[in-house]
Amino acid sequence: MLLAEQSAEELQAPKNGVSDKFKAEFADNSEDSDASFTDSDDSDEELRQALLRNELKPGLNVILKKERQPVNDTIKLKAALELCTLKAPWLERMDLVNDLAPLTPELALQMEKHEQKRANQFKGNRKIPYVAPEADTVLNDFKREILFHRQAQAATVEGIKRLHELGVPTKRPDDYFAEMAKTDEHMQRIRKVLLDKQEGIAKSERIRQLREQRRIGKLIQREATEKRDEERRKMLGDIKKFRKGKLSNLDFLDDDDGPRGEFRKSGKAPPGKGKKKTVSGKRKARDAKFGFGGRKKGMKRNTKESCINDGPKRRPGGAKGPGGKGGAKNRPGKSRRAQMKAKGGGRKK
C-alpha cells in the first residue's frame, strides 16, 4: 500500500483535538515516510498518474485494476447459439450460403473503365499523390460493391431454383390486380391533375410550334421579297446601261431567273401583257412620218430618198382620214358672214 504525499508544514501544523503523544508518533512516521518518498521517485510518479486517471478514492490507498482473464467456454457458446437459432423451415427463413456468381463481361468492362478513369485522375493531377491500385481505397470500395453484386446474383439464382422446386410461384399472373391503398375518388383527382398537366404541356407545345412556323414563314417571305427587290434593281440597272449604250442587247429580260422568268416557266403572261394591242392605220401613218422615239433633229433635211420622191405622200383612203370623214369646211368670207348675220343665221350668243 502507498501513502499520499504531504508537505512538512502540513505535518508540523498544530491540529485541534489531537494529543501530544499522537503528534509525536505521527511526526516520527512522517519523517520516515519523507525519507522513503525522497528515496523512491517512482512512487510519486505512480501517485500522479493515478490521480490523473481519477483512480484515487477517499483515503490513502490506490485501487489497482484487476486483469480480466479471457474466457473461451465453447460449451456455453454453443448452448447460447442453440437457443437463438430459429428452428423454422427454409421457406420462412430464406437464408442461403453460396459462392460468388461468375464475373460477367459487362462487370469486367465496367471495372476496367473504372480503373482507367482512376489512373487518368492520378496522371492529370499532380496534387493528388499516386496510390497503387492494390492499396487504392476507391478501387477497393468499387471491387467490394462488385462482390456484393455477385453474391446477391448467385443467391437470387439459387433461391429462385429452390422456390420452383417447392412449387412457390415467383411471378405474378397476368390477370393479377392488387388492392389499391387509395380510394377511387382520390385516384380520379390524381388522374384529372395529370390530364390537365398533359393538356397544358401539349397546348404550350402547339403554341411554340405555331410561333416557330410563323417566324419561319416571315423569314421565307422576307427572303423572297429581298430576292425580288434585288432582281428588280438589277434589271433596272441593266436597262439604264442599255439606254446609255453600255449593253448591246436586252437578253437579260429573257433570263429565266429574272423577274419575268417565272411567267415564262409557267406559260402564263405577266400581268397587263396578256393581249396584244391592235395598232390603227392612223397610228401607223404617224409612226411612219414622225417615227417613235430616238433622234429627231435633222431627219427632215433633203436626202437622196427625198429628192427621188415624186411628190408628197398621201395617206391611204384619199383626202379623207381613216375614219371616212371629209376635210374641214372653209370659212366663209367677210361679206358672206355679214349676210348670214343679217338673216339670223349667225352664231347665237
pLDDT, tens digit, 9 for 90 and up, residues 49-104? 877 777 766 665 656 677 888 888 999 999 999 888 878 888 888 889 999 999 88
Compute the average pLDDT of residues 247-255: 70
pTM for the model stands at 0.31
Pair (155, 199) in one structural domain: no
What's the chain's length in residues? 349
Question: Is residue 124 in some structural domain?
Answer: yes
Which residue, of 256, 291, 310, is where some domain finishes? 256
Which residue, of 137, 169, 201, is where some domain finishes? 169
Pair (151, 197) in one structural domain: no
Say which range, 119-123, 156-160, 279-283, 306-310, has the weakest mean pLDDT: 306-310
Question: Is residue 41 in some structural domain?
Answer: no
Pair (163, 197) in one structural domain: no
Say which range, 7-11, 191-195, 265-269, has the weakest mean pLDDT: 7-11
Q: Is the pLDDT of residue 283 over 70?
A: yes
Sign of the C-alpha dihedral computed for residues 150, 151, 156 and 158 taken in this order: positive
From the number of C-beta atoms within 10 Å of its C-beta (0-12, 13-18, 19+), residue 347 rates as exposed
Residues 109-159: tens digit of each pLDDT: 888 888 888 788 777 777 777 777 777 777 788 888 888 999 999 999 999
Contact 258, 231 (CB under 8 A): yes
Pair (208, 149) in one structural domain: no
Domain holding 144, by residue range, is 94-169
Q: Is the pLDDT of residue 12 over 60?
A: no
Tell me how far apart the alpha carbons of residues 90 and 18 are, in angstroms, rounded to a whole number. 81
Compute the average pLDDT of residues 319-340: 72
Work out the mean pLDDT of the chain and round it to a whole number: 76
Question: Is residue 139 in some structural domain?
Answer: yes
Question: Which pLDDT score is estimated for 20?
Answer: 62
Question: Which pLDDT score is estimated for 71?
Answer: 85
Pair (251, 198) in one structural domain: yes
Question: Is residue 36 in some structural domain?
Answer: no
Compute the average pLDDT of residues 198-218: 93
Strongest mean pLDDT among 22-26, 40-44, 266-270: 40-44
Pair (161, 200) in one structural domain: no
Question: Which pLDDT score is estimated for 252?
Answer: 66
The residue with greater pLDDT, 98 or 178, is: 98
Q: Whose grid coordinates read 397476368?
A: 174
Compute the average pLDDT of residues 18-31: 56
Percent residues over pLDDT 90 in the chain = 22
Question: Is residue 102 in some structural domain?
Answer: yes
Model confidence band, residue 202 (pLDDT cutoffs 50, 70, 90): very high
Pair (101, 164) in one structural domain: yes
Pair (149, 198) in one structural domain: no
Query: How many domains is the chain partitioned into structurally?
Result: 2
Q: Is the pLDDT of residue 310 over 80?
A: no
Contact 235, 258 (CB under 8 A): yes
Pair (146, 199) in one structural domain: no
Question: Which pLDDT score is estimated for 189?
Answer: 93
Pair (231, 193) in one structural domain: yes
Say which range, 118-127, 149-158, 321-330, 336-345, has the weakest mean pLDDT: 321-330
Question: Is residue 100 in some structural domain?
Answer: yes
Which residue, of 223, 256, 289, is where some domain finishes? 256
Tell me how far apart the alpha carbons of residues 52 and 56 are, in angstroms, rounded to a whole number. 9
Pair (154, 197) in one structural domain: no
Compute the average pLDDT of residues 215-242: 90
Question: Which pLDDT score is estimated for 57?
Answer: 65
Question: Is residue 179 in some structural domain?
Answer: no
Tell me how far apart the alpha carbons of residues 326 and 316 are, in angstroms, rounded to a whole number. 14
Percent residues over pLDDT 70 in the chain = 66
Q: What angle do CA 7, 10, 11 make, to 5 degrees?
A: 90
Region of residue 324 (phi > 0: left; psi between -120 and 50: alpha; otherwise: beta): left
Tell me how far apart the alpha carbons of residues 259 and 261 are, in angstroms, rounded to a whole number. 6
Question: Is residue 10 in some structural domain?
Answer: no
Residues 6+ positions from 340 with CB-CB distance below 8 Å: 332, 346
Model confidence band, residue 31 (pLDDT cutoffs 50, 70, 90): low
The residue with greater pLDDT, 306 or 132, is: 132
Compute the average pLDDT of residues 273-284: 74
